[in-house]
Each structure stands twice: as structure tokens, then as C-alpha cells.
Amino acid sequence: MVTPHPLPVKVLFDQRIPMRDGVTLAADIYLPLNRPLERRPVVLLRTPYMRMTANRIELAYDFVKQGYTFVCVDVRGRGDSDGTFTPYFQDGQDGYDTIEWCAVQPWSNGNIGTLGASYDGRIQWLAALERPPHLKAMIVLVTPSDPFVETPTGLPSPMHLCWLHFVSGRMLQPMNVVNWEQIYEHLPLDTMDEQIGRFIHSWKKEIEHPQLDDYWQPICYQSRFELIDVPVLHISGWYDDEQIGTPLNYIGMTTRGASAETRSSQRLLMGPWGHNSNQGAKIGEVDFGKQAIINMRGEQLRWYDRWLKDEPSEISAPVTIFIMGSNIWRDEQEWPLARTQWTPYYLHSDGRANSRFGDGLLSLHKPAASQKPDTYRYNPAQAVPFITDPTSAQIGGPDDYASLQRRDDLLVYETEPLTEEIEVTGPIRVQLYAASSAQDTDFMAMLIDVWPNGFRQRLCDGMVRARFREGMDHPDLIEPSQIYLYTIDCWNTAQVFKPGHRICLQISSSAFPKYDRNLNTGAPLGRTSEMMTADQVIYHDREHPSALILPIIPALTVK
């Protein structure tokens, strides 16, 4: 048996970092091997996903050999750290204490940069709100948003329970021992955790607070960018299932950051990736080419060299995005792009837009004075599926919705085949005039690229819950049969629709299990099992011009 050669780093294992309440957190400190102790800038990663993994060791080595001290910490209540793990609620103050502890250690020069993805990204924002003096730069990847931004339903996604199981206790739990598809079907939601054999306190608490109230305020950061005075490299992918937060955070920091210098010290990098960024050129059946994979470590090192070492570095333009369809990278100066032409594509039909075999049409022409509305019946017991693997590791992708669009309980509107390419890059939204027989219901919208061979590639999607049409802090049931205007945020994309392709909009009332099923009763959320069917009416006439609003990017002219 060959013994692997150890990496040329020295590790100080299980160092204890004191928090202000007496709890200590476990940290591993990575230093250069066989060199005198020296003060270096620090890259700090805090995680609930175990600090000692092969990937983190390789990460540590990369930074140490480039002149940094690397510190990896188990968050409170996870791994070897003391205390109780309550996702997010103590990570702001713990982050401050950890950053300031690192700043005064003999292996630190006081310049601290934080790094991390997903949970490890969001807790960087919570720590930055505490304004630690020695926090000099952040790199946040695939970062979750504030409560209800990703799931504006008042409830956690059923698939969130998979993640809560994964991080239960102190060690990572196996996900493949649970039949998740069966679990997601369980009602009421507030006892779903018990079906997997666990009582999960966080799951119960989230269902106890089905609107944006004081309970959630300690872990909200997206309304408080004016308190954050840190250069940030924002990284995500168009198919990241938490993608919505990264462009919003970039916009927030460039417009509301604490100082002019900070507002100009932000960078956005968006690739053709899922939640596990930069891990492959192919997602599902779509191959974005070898150029989709970049030197991510090089991007990170250039950022830290600039802000932690004050060294000149070749930082690219403020915004670098991958344009799918053309499969090219492009530098931009802002997000959304200043040259965007916000273009409404209006919904049309003769009242038979059900399924992809119906008569639904998307057109630049406004609807006529009278046009038959479209109708469908939403039955929560037979919800429209959202195509995804059963665990929460990656929710959805560029999946083919051709088979699913055979259903009559969804509507399909699409353009004629395009005669020239159209680039759609930016935030996508739908203005939908709709009525329901229910007191509360959902409306989902999905943007799809229909290929000439029939492949129907999901690009992005979003939803609105009727009771939260005025905001997540203001629930209000609707009047049955009354027409309301709903605005649906479908997140962001960057896609060139090629000649022969069609632009397609899918409308439904469920996307399960990405979102919990609205039971249509108007009852308190998450606590009941009774269901009702809802008869939905989508209007698209002169008085009710339902439309898909696309950010069209005009072709650049070559001088």
C-alpha cells in the first residue's frame, strides 16, 4: 500500500475560538510547513458541513502556498464546536467574534477575508452586518436570500426538510436512507419531519411563522446593505437553485453599500452552473462547452490579492456573465445591463392554451379588446411536478418539459419559430391577470426555450401565492372570481434563443416539490390536510394584457 505524500502545510488542529457567551468553536489553522511563524492575511471559512474534508484541505493548501493563512471553523453546534446548532440565528455574532479572534493571532496580519458557498455564504453577510473592523473582503458563492425570497409561500419548501435532516446533530446525515418523494407528499407540513423519524425544531419554528415578522428579522440582511462596507465577489450560476439572491445582492451593494468606495468595489460572476458552481460543463442534457469551466481559484486569489494584500491584480470588469445558447463569456459594466430593452410578450389564445397542443401564443402585439380567457383546474392532490432529483443538493436544471406539458392543468404560450436570434439577459417577470374560485391559491410561471427538435429547456421560473400578492409581511386572502394582477418574479437568465427556436411561457398553479402545494382552502398555512380544487382563469384582453416581460439585449454593432 502506497502512503500518500502529505501536503506541504502545517495544521494546528482543533483550536478553540471563544465566543462572547462562553461557547468555544473548533478551528483548524493551516500554515506553511517548515517556515518561521509569520503574520499573513487570513482566509476564513465557517461551515456546518464539517471543517475537515478532502476538498477543504486542498482549498487550504491552495491559499497557504499563495501567501495566506487558512482557517476553517465548525459553526456552533456542528462538528467539534460547542453549543446548539440553530441555522443562521447565531452566526452573525459568532462570525464577528471569529473574525476578530483571527485578527489578533500571531499568524495573522489583521486582514481577514471570508469565503464560502450556500450556508457558508449567507453567514458571511450576517457577520458583515455586525461590522467587524478587520473584515476586509468577502467571496460569497450561491448565497441564500432572506426568508421567503426564494420560496414566497410563507412556508419552507418540502425539499428544505431534506437539508435540515442532512445537518441534524453534529455530523452529516445520510440522505439516501429516506424515501424523500414519499415524505414530500405528507400533510400537514408541520408533522412532515416526524415522518422521517426526527423531530426537527427548526422545521417547526419556520412553520410557526408563515409570514415576514419579527421572528425573521435577525437573519434578514438584504434590506441592510447600507451597514456593509466590504468589497464582495458575488458568484452564482443561472441554474443555481438559490440564484435569485446573488444578482440582488450585487445590485444592493452597488446601489446601497455603506460607502462610495464599497459601492464601486463589487464584482458579479455568473456561469452556466447549478448550486455546485464550476463543477462541470454539462447539466442534464445540455452541454455548455469546455469554456464553461473557469479557473475559479485564480478568480478568488486575484480578489484576495487586491483587497487583503493591496497588490495590483487584473480584476475583470464589474460583471462577467456566461451567455447560454451562444456559450460565451462576456464582460459588462453593470447589472441589469444598461442597454436592456424591456419588452412585453403578450399572451394570446382563443381560450384553449391548455398543454403544448393548445393554441397559446406569445406575441409583441397587444391583445384585442375581447379575447377568450384560458381556464384550468388545479387539484393539489395531482400537482404539476417540478422536475428535480429528490434530494435538495440541486433542485432542477435545464430539464426537458416536453412530456410534462402534455397536461391540461397547465397553460403553454409560445412564439412562432424565430427567424433571427434573440438574446434575453436579465431579470424575468410575468404580469398575470388571473382569477380563482379559491380564497387562496398559487400561480407559477416558467420561461422555456423550445428547440426545433422538440426539447423544451427550462431556463428559470417563479411563483406567487395569492395571499402574499401585496408582500410577505401582508397576507390577505382573495375574493373568489375577482380578477387580480399578479407580478411573478422568475429570477434571471442569460440565453440566446437561436433561429428556429421558440420562446415559451408555462403557467400553472403548482411546481411540486420545489414549492409546497397550496391547498386552496385559505386555512392557516402548513397545519391542515384538507384540500380543495380551484378553477383558475387567466385573462389576456385589452383591459387585462397579461405579459411576459423579457430583457432583450440588442446585438452589438461592430464599428
pLDDT in tens, 295-354: 999 999 999 999 999 888 777 799 999 999 999 999 999 999 999 999 999 999 999 999
Q: Is the pLDDT of residue 279 over 90?
A: no
Residues 136-177 have pLDDT tens digits of: 999 999 999 999 999 999 999 999 999 999 999 999 999 999
**Is residue 172 in some structural domain?**
no
Strand order in the sheet with 40-47: 9-18, 24-32, 69-74, 40-47, 108-117, 135-141, 232-237, 266-271, 319-323, 328-332
Q: Give me the CATH number covering residue 542.
A: 2.60.120.260
Per-residue pLDDT, 315: 77
Give the residue-averaged pLDDT of 351-380.
96
Any idea which residues carry the catalytic annotation? 118, 240, 275
**Is residue 320 in some structural domain?**
no
**Is residue 324 in some structural domain?**
no
Per-residue pLDDT, 369: 84
Q: What's the number of domains the chain is made of?
A: 2
**Is residue 74 in some structural domain?**
yes
Of residues 402, 425, 367, the one with CA closest to residue 506 = 402
Confidence of residue 402 (pLDDT cuts 50, 70, 90): very high
Per-residue pLDDT, 553: 98
CA angle 342, 509, 348 (to 5 degrees): 50
**What is d(CA 64, CA 58) in angstroms, rounded to the nearest whole number?**
10
Please say which residue of 108, 141, 174 terminates a domain.
141
Please say which residue of 107, 123, 141 terminates a domain.
141
Per-residue pLDDT, 5: 55
**Is residue 132 in some structural domain?**
yes
Per-residue pLDDT, 129: 98
Please say which residue of 141, 161, 180 terminates a domain.
141
Pairing of strands 484-497, 374-378: unpaired
**Is residue 313 in some structural domain?**
no
**Is residue 457 in some structural domain?**
yes
**Is residue 481 in some structural domain?**
yes
Confidence of residue 364 (pLDDT cuts 50, 70, 90): very high
**What is d(CA 316, CA 174) in angstroms, rounded to the nearest whole number?**
40
Q: Which domain, by its residues, includes 462?
A: 341-552
- Structure-derived torsion over alpha carbons of residues 28, 232, 124, 330, reported in degrees to the nearest 10: -90
Per-residue pLDDT, 6: 67
Q: Give me the CATH number covering residue 16.
A: 3.40.50.1820
Q: At 84, which amino acid appears?
A: T
